[in-house]
Amino acid sequence: MKICLYGVPGSIAGKRPLKDPRLDTAHKLVEADKKTYAQVDALGDDGLADADAIVATAGSVLDLILQDLEFVEVRLGRGATDLEKAVLQKMQADLEASRCLGACEYSPADWAAVNASGLITRKPVVVASADEVAQPDALLLRAVAAAGWISFVTVGGMENRAWLIRRGTTAWEAGGAIHTDIQKGFIRAEIIGWADFVAAGGETLAKRAGKLRLETKQYVVQDYDLVNFRFNKSA
């Protein structure tokens, strides 16, 4: 996923590891040759249009709100229909109250009525306070969650690794996030929930405690599930 760091001092665009401390915990509990965090694409100020989420400071978020307010006011001055006008006026009120539009109540029909693709703060916006700017890892984690993304984990052997997926992703789709061969030959997913894994003290102990479940391709992966895919390699 892509995160725009808008007006955040010292931001560096490019691939950034998503340093979730839960993977650190997993690495302590399960032996593996290396640990690999999930990655996100960090974008600069010019990446607003492409971003899935935005991280802004308390000051720079006001600039985003003003840009959206200008957009709304221009649209109101162009002879909007009654339906469009009603939605735009509500947006104008929210923006004038310094509220990002994505944090306000709008229906899919409202967004469609105003062709909202040009509105910046419709996207999830995470506002960083001054002390948080020095902690980019935590900000990235907040932005990922705000945008509706989660991670699942594969452990043991060569690598303990976190994989980033959208919330609501099925086990079959999650397999494809690793390799298309897993998706094509999918048989079952072995699942250990994160809380069960930690409470048991590791993967092996969780299995002994009966916490491993076999799930079908329709299973919706939960945040930080430990997943092992069974698949037909010749499919």
State the distance between the two ends of the chain, measured CA to CA, in whole angstroms: 29
Q: How far apart are CA 162 and CA 229, in angstroms?
A: 14
pLDDT reported for residue 165: 98
Q: Token pair of 65, please? A: 């709100």
According to DSSP, the β-strands at 149-154 and 2-6 are unpaired
According to DSSP, the β-strands at 53-57 and 125-128 are parallel
Selection from 77, 100, 102 nearest residue 89 by Cα? 77
User: Bridge-partner residues for 164, per DSSP?
Assistant: 151
Query: Each residue's pLDDT tens digit in the chain (235 positions)?
Result: 999 999 988 777 899 999 999 999 999 999 999 999 999 999 999 999 999 999 999 899 999 999 999 999 999 988 888 899 999 999 999 999 999 999 999 999 999 888 877 899 999 999 998 777 777 888 999 999 999 999 999 999 899 999 999 999 999 999 999 999 999 999 999 999 999 999 999 999 999 999 999 999 999 999 999 999 999 987 6
Q: How far apart are CA 151 and CA 134, in angstroms?
A: 24
Domain definitions of the chain by residue range: 2-20+39-145, 168-231
Contact by Cβ (8 Å): 154, 190 = no
Selection from 166, 163, 197 nearest residue 37 by Cα? 163
pLDDT reported for residue 234: 74
Q: How far apart are CA 143 and CA 128, in angstroms?
A: 10
pLDDT digits (tens, 9 = 90+) for 34-49: 999 999 999 999 999 9
Q: How far apart are CA 119 and CA 71, in angstroms?
A: 7
Q: How far apart are CA 161 and CA 112, in angstroms?
A: 39
Which residue in the block uniquely carries the two structure tokens 């994989």?
Answer: 163
Superfamily of domain 168-231: Beta-grasp domain (3.10.20.30)
Concatenate the DSSP letters of all residues of 199-221 into one string. Answer: HHTSHHHHHHTT--EEE-TTPBP
pLDDT reported for residue 235: 61
pLDDT reported for residue 81: 87
Contact by Cβ (8 Å): 149, 1 = yes
CATH of 2-20+39-145, one of 1.10.1740.110, 1.10.150.300, 1.20.140.10, 3.30.70.2740: 1.10.150.300
